[in-house]
Structure 1
Amino acid sequence: MKLDLSGKTALITGATGELGRVITRTLASCGADVIIQYRSNDDNAVKLNKEIHAMGRKAVAVRADVTDMASVQHMKDTIAAGFSMPDIVVANAVIQYQWTSVLEQPLEDYASQFESCVMQSVHLAKCFVPEMISKGWGRMIGINTECAMQNFPTQSAYVSGKRGMDGVYRVLAKEIGAHGITVNQVAPGWTISERDRIHGTERNADYERSVPLGHRGTDQDIANAVAFLASDLAAFITGAYLPVCGGNVMPAI
C-alpha cells in the first residue's frame, strides 16, 4: 500500500511558507499536481513552481488573499481558465502576530485570526466544494493547532480563530459527506521547520518534557499526515481533528 495521489490536483494555501513548501512538495511526491497559493512572496512562488515541475508534476502559482472572498473567487477563475480545479484543498495560510495577554492583545489581531482561519475556510469551501460535489470526490484539509486544546496564556487570539475554524470544518463534514468528500484537520505541535535547522534551534528541553514521544515533530511529520488524509487510505475518515504533536495533547472520548 502507498499514498497515491496520481490524477489529483491539490491547492495549498500559504504554500510559499515554511510548512506550506513541505506540504506542497510532499503532495507532489505522491503524484498530485499542485496549485501554489501565495500572498506576496513572488520569489518563493517561482522557486517552488520550478521545484515541482522538476519533480515531473504540473504546477501553477496564483497570488491571492484568502481572507477576501473576491480574491479567492478570482483565484478560482484563474485556475478554471488554465489549470485543473482542485480535488484536494489544504487551508494552511495563517496571519502571524505577537502573542500577548487578552488584556494587551490588539483587537485587530482577533479580527485577523477570524479572517485567516474561519473566513479562509468558508471562502475555500464556497469556491471549490461545488466542483468536488460534481465529481463525487474531494478532500478539504485544514491546518489547525495543538493550541486549540491547550488554551494557554497569550494564545487567545490564535486559539479563538482556530477553534472557530474547527466548528466550520465539523459542520462542513456533515453537510458534504454524502458527496464523497471528507473534511479533516491536522493539528501540529511546536514543529521543527527549516528556520530551526538553519539556526540550530531544533531542541527545546522544556517543551520536550511535556511530549510523550520525547521530542518535537518536524514539518515533514505534518505533511505526511496531510498526504494520508488526502489519500484513498483515509476514505472513511471525516470530521477528524488529528493532533500531530507526539501526544502533547490527546483528544478524549
Structure 2
Amino acid sequence: MKIDLTGKIALVTGATGQLGRVMVRTLAECGADVVIHYLKNKEMAEALCREVMSLGRKALIVQADITDYNSVMQMKDIVVNSLGAPDIVVDNAVIQYNWTTVLKQPLEDYESQFRSCVMQNVIMAKAFIPYMIEKKYGRFIGINTECSMQNFPTQSAYVAGKRGMDGIFRILAKEVGEHQITVNQVAPGWTISDRDREAGTERSAEYDAKVPLKRRGTDQEIANVVAFLASDLASYITGAYIPVCGGNVMPAI
C-alpha cells in the first residue's frame, strides 16, 4: 500500500514557504500535478516548478493575494484554464507578524490573522469546492497549529485566527461531505525546516523536553500527513484536526 496521487491536481497556497515547498515536492513525488501559489517569492516558485517538472509532473506557478476575493478568483481562472480544476487544495499560506501580549498587540495583526486564517479558507472554498462537487470528489486541507490548543501568552492573534479557521473547517466538512469531499486540518508543532538546518537551530532543549517524543518534528513529517489526507487512503476521514507535534498537544474526547 502506498500513497498514489497519479492523475490528481493539487494546489498549495504559500507554496514557497518553509513548509509549503516540502508539501509541493511530496505531492509531486506521490504523482500529483501541482499548482504552486506564491505572493512575493517568484524565484522559489520557479525553482519548485522546475523540480516538479523534473519528476515528470505538470506544474504551474500563480501569484495571488489569498485574502482578496478578486485575486483568488483570477487565480482560479488561470488554474482551471491551464491545468484543470484541482482535486486537492492545501491552504498553507499565513501572514507573518511579531507576537506580543493582547494589550500590546496592534489591532491590525488581529485583522491580518483573520484574513489569512479565516477568509483565505472561505474564499478558497468558494473558488474551488464547486468543481469538487461536480466531480463528487475532493480533498480540502488546511494547515492549523498546535498553538490553537496551547493558548500561550503572546499567541492571541495567531490563535484567534486559527481557532476561527477550525470552525470553518468543521462546518464545511458537514456541508460538503455528501459530495465525497473531505475537509481536514493538519496542526504542526514547532517544525524543523530549511531555515533551521541552515542556521543550525534544529534543537531546542526547553521545547524538546516538553514533547513526549523529545524532539521537534520536520517539514517532511508535516508533508507526509498532508499527502496521506490528500490520498484515497484517507477517504473516510473528514472534519479532523490532526496534531503533528510529537504528542505536544493531545485532543481529548
TM-score > 0.5 by shorter chain: yes
Gaps of 5+ in 1: none
User: 2:102 maps to what in 1?
Assistant: 102
Give the Cα separation in 1 of the matches to 2:47 and 2:28.
15
SS in 1 for 2:243: strand
Please report how far the alpha carbon of residue 42 of structure 1 lies from its aligned counterpart in structure 2 after TM superposition. Answer: 1.0
Equivalent residue letter for 1:3? I
- Mapped to 1, the partners of 2:42 and 2:129 lie a distance apart of 27
**What number of residue pairs does the alignment pair up?**
253
1:100 partner SS:
coil
Determine if the alignment matches structure 1 residue 231 to structure 2 residue 231. yes
* Equivalence for 1:79: 79
Partner of 1:49: 49
The one-letter code matched in structure 2 to 1:112 is S
| CA distance in 2: counterparts of 1:81 and 1:219, whole angstroms | 31
| CA-to-aligned-CA distance 1:64-109 (integer Å, 9 cap, x gap) | 0000000000000111222121000000000001000000000000
Structure 2 unmatched ranges of 5 or more:
none
Letter in 1 for 2:176: I
TM-score, normalised relative to structure 1? 0.99
- Kindly report structure 1 stretches of 4+ aligned residues shifted beyond 4 Å: none
Quick one: which amino acid aligns to residue 177 of structure 1? Answer: G
Deviations 1:37-72 (A, max 9, x none): 100111111111111101111000000000000000
Q: TM-score, normalised by structure 2?
A: 0.99
Task: Give me the CA root mean square deviation.
Answer: 0.5
Match of 2:169 in 1: 169
Question: In the aligned structure 1, how far is the partner of 2:47 from the partner of 2:202?
Answer: 25
SS of equivalent to 2:183 = strand
1:14 aligns with 2:27: no
Residue 223 of structure 1: CA displacement? 0.2
- Does residue 26 of structure 2 align to residue 26 of structure 1? yes
Q: Aligned pair 1:123/2:119, yes or no?
A: no
CA distance in 1: counterparts of 2:229 and 2:207, whole angstroms: 27
